[in-house]
Chain A
Amino acid sequence: DAGVIQSPRHEVTEMGQEVTLRCKPISGHNSLFWYRQTMMRGLELLIYFNNNVPIDDSGMPEDRFSAKMPNASFSTLKIQPSEPRDSAVYFCASSGLAGVNFYEQYFGPGTRLTVT
């Protein structure tokens, strides 16, 4: 079974541009998480969804960040307008249905975003 898929793997953009990151969770998983990783702040949870519904977006840094999950197999994280301080690696993770493996989160390969 394929793991979590993220695209693009690398994104370089200029300040002020819109950036959209994409994620396909593991088939059958019903929870999806967006994280940001930087040297200064480590791994931070931005937002997570359960059954396509946003449950906690308290980690979203600013109104410039938004996330959607229109269906069980796709999610986007959008930054508009982007700023140099948004440069980071963004990870998507998913976890399965309630039960023994409920908590186990599986990460995608990440998108390295550079804003110049």
Chain B
Amino acid sequence: GENVEQHPSTLSVQEGDSAVIKCTYSDSASNYFPWYKQELGKGPQLIIDIRSNVGEKKDQRIAVTLNKTAKHFSLHITETQPEDSAVYFCAASPRWAKLQFGAGTQVVVTP
């Protein structure tokens, strides 16, 4: 089945700097790649996603890139703010509706 690896497991950045989280996947049939943000005590919140026919997608300060040949995708957060502190999960969908999640990245933005 699909295997998703996510790095780094923790990321500490200064406020205003950029943060990058990288994920790799194993199943070449995967065609949907969402990113979730989870704050303490809450459920994962979908923040951005990308489909296999697109190489890059942006939404304000966040962007996601996808390299299908290399089977990796990344989340970029620019101008980080303290409220960006959370755990971020990447996921890949190898077939209809089923998501395989990465292990998560704890992002800490220090003022």
Report Cα–Cα, A11/B93, bound state, in Å: 31
The reply to whether A95 and B97 contact each other, CB–CB distance below 8 Å, is yes
Among A55, A102, A103, A107, residue most surrounded by chain B Cβ atoms (within 10 Å): A103
Q: Which residue of A has the minimal Cβ distance to B6?
A: A42
Which single member of B32, B45, B104 contacts A103 (CB below 8 Å)? B32
Let me know if A103 and B101 touch, CB within 8 A: no
Q: Is the interface of A mostly helix, strand, loop or mixed?
A: strand
Task: Please choose the segment from A43-51, A67-75, A80-88 that sits at the chain B interface, where 4 or more of its residues have CB less than 8 A away.
Answer: A43-51
Contacting residues, chain B, for A104 (C-beta < 8 A): 34, 46, 49
Task: Give the bracket for the number of chain A residues in contact with chain B.
Answer: 20 to 34
The residue in B32, B46, B93 that gathers the most chain A C-beta atoms within 10 A of its C-beta is: B46
Interface string of A75-116 (1 = CB under 8 A from B): 000000000000000010101000000111111111000000
* Known contacts A91-B44, A103-B93, then 8 further A-B pairs from the complex at CB < 8 Å, ordered by chain A residue: A42-B104, A43-B89, A45-B98, A48-B98, A56-B98, A103-B49, A103-B97, A104-B46
Sample (24) of A-B pairs whose CB atoms are under 8 Å apart: A31-B97, A42-B102, A42-B104, A43-B89, A43-B101, A45-B98, A45-B99, A48-B97, A48-B98, A50-B97, A55-B97, A56-B98, A91-B44, A102-B97, A103-B93, A103-B97, A104-B46, A105-B97, A106-B46, A107-B36, A107-B44, A107-B46, A108-B43, A109-B42
